[in-house]
Amino acid sequence: MTESFTAPVVAAGLIGGFAAARYSGRRELGGVVLAAAGAWCTTEWFKAKGPVVAGSLLGGYLVAFGASHPLAKKIGAWPAVFAVTTAAAGAAYAVADH
């Protein structure tokens, strides 16, 4: 188990990044939020579980971000963000936090 719970930070990075980009009108601000949360989580995963798990969870985080874009065309922006956030945060909880 990590020293800190990372699943809520994963969720904050994905949801907060989308919200920051959407409501500020500045996509790069969303990227900063997304990157900051991802960097912090990756550091925690690396300390607790090693490079393979950290890399895998970071990859899942980035895939979730990327998958939200085409998914948004099918189900809408917010539902897509919530769907991929559930998957990424769930993986973080199951693999690193639990």
pTM: 0.93
Tell me what pLDDT residue 98 has.
Answer: 86
pLDDT tens-digit readout, 8-56? 999 999 999 999 999 999 999 999 999 999 999 999 999 999 999 999 9
DSSP classification of residue 94: I
DSSP classification of residue 50: -
48-96-62-77 Cα dihedral, nearest 10 degrees:
-140
